[in-house]
Structure 1
């Protein structure tokens, strides 16, 4: 029996020959309407505690509200849970003890504990504060969780919950802080000395009573008034607490504002957004180990990390400093001095920053240099109260945002982690103090590793078959071959069942939003549990995108792309073409899953109906192709990508007979940036371009993304000058449409407005701008989507002659 996605893909592949001779006409109103007409994607699936059911969410038609559904894992009708049923459903973030005698989970922000033998469920917390991160000790006797940065514990045999640690970012009030005047007063007056003595006696008695009474709240730890707590992590046995701090007065830099012009109040209203890149680097972070049993505090020194005293930016720094001193700007040059010890932060934004072994006897911390050139995984030596580096990943460009997962094997003494050290993300293990073992290797990517409860098997997502094809594979945690579990080619996510025997899989296809299935952990025929695609969308004769390989004339190898054209390839000859440029830079859009650019995909169908062909390329910097592809743009954004887009145009001319004078381009965000770079750096190559919410000057963008690729603007001004479209504004000669949401808090509208002013001052022609007062970076209102794409459609019709 074929899977839903396979059947639909087969049908789509046949569709051009069977149905596209006279397809039902598309129109802008339909494809840019509220996407509820397509059908909702299945979201956030998770297993019931006993593994018999799968829960998932669906957006409600006409509303942003998500409803919770439950469906038997073996197949059957799904049930939408009403509020009463949802209030008794199994929750998320499920954890189990090693013998699977107990389970804990989060439901509506509270912690619940279930005895898996009796089925009894106990609500452990009931508070207005959202509790998260439940954890059961290996023996199942201790349940811990967090609320904000505070940690709590509960004995599973019963009794009151207690706060595991009290940590305060203030000075210790017990420490005597006396002045010369106070000392003189104590020396002069016996009454004052007596009062002081009584106070000390009362405090000593209270401390003795508290120390002898396990029912009292724990004694507080005071970290000092000059720090702010960033994160905390409690060991599963409740013995230790790791605390991440930064300087309390750390300044992120001046924050840019935007203005809401259409408001309920009728007045224009400002909104603070974010600082610009390099205005202030991320605040360095420090690690403190608290021994809760001994009530002792230990600072963990990151200055012992290998390479921490090196300056990977020394060559760039020397060049910039020399230029500043030559220009008489010694004050600026002085500020660029290399730090003796590079500052670090805990790398917790895209991966778990701190991971404890199951027994709580070991902990690993992932640290990243603020300059983005190094990532370390270090463990804590509890006897020496020091960090011990287990793995260092260094990159002359920048460490990837993704593929930094790590954790422990069940022995609690062996780490597993992902690393790009060979040029592709692969899975490794390393016993503490030992050598690393590569579990996977090859010219493909591995992500989302999940270790089975028995610790014997990893399940991972890979694109081993082809860069655009993703499925679940399994392999032994001791090493061995990858074995394919699913064959969807468009596998989006998965969750392992509590007993480790099944996977809940989210899969999709080019015109099928994510659907839910279950499959044996050993592979085999999946059970399809959902089909949420509405007939009006499913019945349309959509064009199956053809994945093509565009040869690079610039030494990059193969550039993968999706081609949209008529059923009869000969009809493509002499047609105009449009190149679509995806956003985000580090994003993969050439794949067999449902695209995040689903509206654009429908627009591509409309363009083919209008008489165009369309090419959608994974230019250099795109995700899924390894480290070298990702970092090809280091200090040089917009240049390798333009080479690739020009190669795409050449491929269209050579292989599809496209008229080279009638090739247009459009894209949003990074795609808007690349549209600008294409028109401004290669004038005459493209007949017209539409740049949606584009970055025009990288010095105005955020720090986290930009500093990775271009370093800080003060340190590396050449990289910013080379990479910013506004510096090429004088080259504009081809028709350009700019479109931007006025309340975009990602790429600020000021980016487009500043470029527009530059064109005005240069006396340029054939440029237009459309602003959308109610839209942020990702448009959400159908009227805006319609207007945006109507203008793009009209631009191409007018300038490409179709």
Structure 2
């Protein structure tokens, strides 16, 4: 009896530490230690897929042998003859990135900081530059007789005909040297000398003649443009080569950069890492210029007359209205609204060289304009304005210029817009401004490219289901979307140069990414090229999570992944997982980037837990309203979605309401803290990993879009930051954070720790990881963290906490 008790105690101890006993049938029995090993134990999926320039091979990075790093492999277009590429062949390969001439017979590219010209028919490269300095951004000129590139922040052109290199811009740091100033006394003396002494006059006249001769004989040089301490970006040559456009960036001198101490270093000393500013600090400013080479003049392109440039965001107008109402009647004077700071991207020139458009974005990210540019005058003509009182984003839109291009007629531009509530393709006539929707529906379009014959678009869309990504072909004027892929899951597709074949990286929810090839035809059968998984990984029967939809309290549909034990006990325990990144999708049907968590959820189900993984408000894949559902209140609808998810588990899946835990990292860690502090009766235990505790200390680019800035919208920050709610903690809380996290700084949890100490809370613990950044790297760190998470759930959820 004593032996049996000891054996049972050993099993319990192993389970609490994340261990598991090996199955007797030789199949893998999951444990935290096994899951969190170096991911090579799973197998390494192919990545970075690209076609050879002649379309005969597909190249990809792969590591079937489990080496320290991936190797380059190739396979023929029909999926045969897979082989590792030799070091010499790899060295001679052109870069997969670059610019093609219109006939696609030549390509220019950068490799190792030098520029090369590649002849596709012969397969030979010609090296254009060979310097210590880096040359980058090579492009064919519109005439295709030159190759332009950037070197030392200046634009150069190399002639295909005679090999001559010409410098096209001369940007210089600092201020232009001041000329000789006027001085009445000195001018009088000089005039006296010239009038009195003939030899002086003759010598001065000779010097002037020599100066004129030197200037006449000197080769043409670009205009010296002094940029002070500003940076030069986006240098672009117009098709006619008369105009050169560029952007100047001014970095603020008074911005304060946060420092993260690195304690574990080779030197033995603590070393400081410069990271980023905090939200609301001074930001870069941007200017856009045209250099007219024929007129030898430079002028700025201004947004002052563009529709909406002075429009303030709604949240500021409401605050101003409240302030005015509080002060009573004003003095009758109305302050003129100032033009908001903007960033201009482009220009994007039509194929015939007649038209140019730019994309402009307000720096508060409430507006995005597509504008026709007259380079001779700098005049801007509005073609499309998208305004969002939350913030502009979405597939094909992003935070820069987004995906944009010219239609075959050279009179229409295609672009993305969320005007309908979902990111879709539109075209606009650059002469009349007439706009047309090319796609529509409750789905999103992304990764758009035009076919070489300019007759069709290729793109990815989640039309069949929000959690599936398929590849489509559609006529450029809109019409039927022909679905070319058909396997359930997600497809990342590279089209062959002749557009006859597709190379596809495909995965399903319980099957990691593999490489397939298929004909570029509807209904064609894909052929699997790679077999990447290890026998050990395949020996476990990985679950296909159920994709479910439940109703939030406001009536919205919420998508989620559900993992259930086959014979779930009545009133059993459950765990809710919160994905990170904010704008990310995880309740989908492809292999998750959270693969460790996916495996951990399988392990939890083996131990009797039900697991729910929610695409809460703010997640990607579901359109604008879901994307912006967290505006001015993170921890609002995104948290209530998790509370409603917990309620759904109780009502439909026999989960004990007193035995529900929650965990997640980054944004998921933030939601976990908000859940434990503001919904303490819903979640009995929570693990907050690398979590934001106070949004006023996060970065500007992400946070200001959602919460504006702390000094203009302090209420949004107070509502959204867990540190203000710490007194609400009731359940058991685990906080885990890397000490060299340069994204969410360790300072976040240090400040929260002090707050919990001052509040007298004793039901929490802090686990620190001295060598880890935001994304953990070391298997030992992953293992330690998830053993603690598992122990937290075992100790607090396995018995009812009534």
> Structure 2 length normalisation: TM-score?
0.89
Partner of 1:246: 249
Partner of 2:19: none
Give the deviation of 1:474 after TM superposition. 1.0
The answer to whether 1:400 aligns with 2:355 is no
User: Is the CA contact (8 Å cut-off) linking 1:634 and 1:709 kept in structure 2?
Assistant: yes
Partner of 1:13: none
Larger Rg: 2
**Structure 2 counterpart of 1:722, from 709, 716, 719:** 719
Partner of 2:332: none
Partner of 1:538: 538
Which piece of structure 1 moves more, 406-415 or 116-125?
Answer: 116-125
Q: 1:264 to 1:675 in 2, by over 3 A?
A: same
Partner of 1:427: 425
* Within-5 A mapping of 1:456-475: 456-475=455-474
Q: 1:159 to 1:576 in 2, by over 3 A?
A: same
Partner of 2:300: 299
> What whole-Å deviation, never above 9, does each CA across 1:38-83 have from its counterpart, x for those lacking one?
1223222222111111222236977764432222122113332233
Q: 1:377 to 1:182 in 2, by over 3 A?
A: farther
Partner of 2:443: 444
> What whole-Å deviation, never above 9, does each CA across 1:721-761 have from its counterpart, x for those lacking one?
11111111111111111000010010001111101100111
Q: 1:694 to 1:196 in 2, by over 3 A?
A: farther
Q: Matched residue of 2:788: which SS?
A: helix
Q: 1:117 to 1:661 in 2, by over 3 A?
A: closer
User: Is the CA contact (8 Å cut-off) linking 2:394 and 2:624 kept in structure 1?
Assistant: no
Q: Matched residue of 1:652: which SS?
A: helix
Q: Matched residue of 1:422: which SS?
A: coil
Give the deviation of 1:612 after TM superposition. 0.7
Q: 1:454 to 1:396 in 2, by over 3 A?
A: same
Task: Give, in whole Å, the separation in 2 of the partners of 1:707 and 1:115.
Answer: 47
**Structure 1 counterpart of 2:86, from 76, 79, 82:** 82
**Structure 1 counterpart of 2:739, from 732, 738, 742:** 742
Give the deviation of 1:143 after TM superposition. 2.4
Partner of 2:233: 230
The answer to whether 1:627 aligns with 2:624 is yes
Give the deviation of 1:503 after TM superposition. 2.7
Task: Give, in whole Å, the separation in 2 of the partners of 1:113 and 1:480.
Answer: 39
Partner of 2:408: 410
Q: 1:406 to 1:741 in 2, by over 3 A?
A: same
Q: Matched residue of 1:275: which SS?
A: coil
Partner of 1:781: 778
> What whole-Å deviation, never above 9, does each CA across 1:467-504 have from its counterpart, x for those lacking one?
00111111011211111011233335222222233332
The answer to whether 1:481 aligns with 2:474 is no
**Structure 1 counterpart of 2:355, from 362, 372, 378:** 362
Give the deviation of 1:262 after TM superposition. 0.7
Partner of 2:30: 26
Length, aligned pairs only: 759
User: Is the CA contact (8 Å cut-off) linking 1:427 and 1:438 kept in structure 2?
Assistant: yes
Task: Give, in whole Å, the separation in 2 of the partners of 1:663 and 1:534.
Answer: 34
Task: Give, in whole Å, the separation in 1 of the partners of 2:73 and 2:214.
Answer: 53
Q: 1:758 to 1:174 in 2, by over 3 A?
A: closer
User: Is the CA contact (8 Å cut-off) linking 1:23 and 1:541 kept in structure 2?
Assistant: no
Q: 1:554 to 1:779 in 2, by over 3 A?
A: same
Task: Give, in whole Å, the separation in 2 of the partners of 1:267 and 1:564.
Answer: 47
Partner of 1:733: 730
Which piece of structure 1 moves more, 581-590 or 163-172?
Answer: 163-172
Q: Matched residue of 2:656: which SS?
A: coil
**Structure 2 counterpart of 1:643, from 618, 640, 656:** 640
Q: Matched residue of 1:464: which SS?
A: coil
User: Is the CA contact (8 Å cut-off) linking 2:173 and 2:226 kept in structure 1?
Assistant: yes
> What whole-Å deviation, never above 9, does each CA across 1:636-694 have from its counterpart, x for those lacking one?
11110111101111111112101110000000000000001111111121010000011
Partner of 1:257: 259
* Within-5 A mapping of 1:246-395: 246-247=249-250, 250-251=252-253, 253-280=255-282, 282-313=283-314, 314-318=316-320, 340-346=338-344, 353-395=346-388
> What whole-Å deviation, never above 9, does each CA across 1:207-242 have from its counterpart, x for those lacking one?
32234xxxx6x3233144264323322335544221
Partner of 2:13: none
Task: Give, in whole Å, the separation in 2 of the partners of 1:507 and 1:486.
Answer: 10
User: Is the CA contact (8 Å cut-off) linking 2:43 and 2:66 kept in structure 1?
Assistant: no
Give the deviation of 1:148 after TM superposition. 5.7
Give the deviation of 1:317 after TM superposition. 4.0
Give the deviation of 1:530 after TM superposition. 2.3
Give the deviation of 1:321 after TM superposition. 5.8
Gaps of 5+ in 1: 1-18, 327-336, 348-352
**Structure 1 counterpart of 2:62, from 37, 58, 70:** 58
* Within-5 A mapping of 1:678-717: 678-717=675-714
Q: Matched residue of 2:794: which SS?
A: helix
**Structure 2 counterpart of 1:588, from 563, 585, 588:** 585
Partner of 2:7: none
> What whole-Å deviation, never above 9, does each CA across 1:524-581 have from its counterpart, x for those lacking one?
122333222222213321111111111222222x111111122x2x425322000000
Task: Give, in whole Å, the separation in 2 of the partners of 1:521 and 1:25.
Answer: 42
> What whole-Å deviation, never above 9, does each CA across 1:223-280 have from its counterpart, x for those lacking one?
4426432332233554422111133x62362111111111111111111111110022
Q: Matched residue of 1:632: which SS?
A: coil
Q: 1:189 to 1:780 in 2, by over 3 A?
A: farther
Task: Give, in whole Å, the separation in 1 of the partners of 2:185 and 2:491.
Answer: 70
Q: 1:400 to 1:545 in 2, by over 3 A?
A: same
Partner of 2:551: 551
Q: 1:609 to 1:385 in 2, by over 3 A?
A: same
> What whole-Å deviation, never above 9, does each CA across 1:110-164 have from its counterpart, x for those lacking one?
3222334554432222233443333224553332233463322223334233333
User: Is the CA contact (8 Å cut-off) linking 1:256 and 1:272 kept in structure 2?
Assistant: yes
Task: Give, in whole Å, the separation in 1 of the partners of 2:178 and 2:202.
Answer: 18
Task: Give, in whole Å, the separation in 2 of the partners of 1:577 and 1:20.
Answer: 28
Give the deviation of 1:290 after TM superposition. 1.4
**Structure 2 counterpart of 1:110, from 111, 114, 121:** 114
Gaps of 5+ in 2: 1-22, 329-334, 398-402
Q: Matched residue of 2:655: which SS?
A: coil
* Within-5 A mapping of 1:643-682: 643-682=640-679
Q: 1:271 to 1:182 in 2, by over 3 A?
A: farther
Which piece of structure 1 moves more, 110-119 or 735-744?
Answer: 110-119
Q: Matched residue of 2:218: which SS?
A: helix
> Structure 1 length normalisation: TM-score?
0.89
Task: Give, in whole Å, the separation in 2 of the partners of 1:192 and 1:588.
Answer: 82
Give the deviation of 1:414 after TM superposition. 1.7
The answer to whether 1:208 aligns with 2:216 is yes
Q: Matched residue of 2:672: which SS?
A: helix
Partner of 1:16: none
Give the deviation of 1:192 after TM superposition. 10
Task: Give, in whole Å, the separation in 2 of the partners of 1:139 and 1:453.
Answer: 19
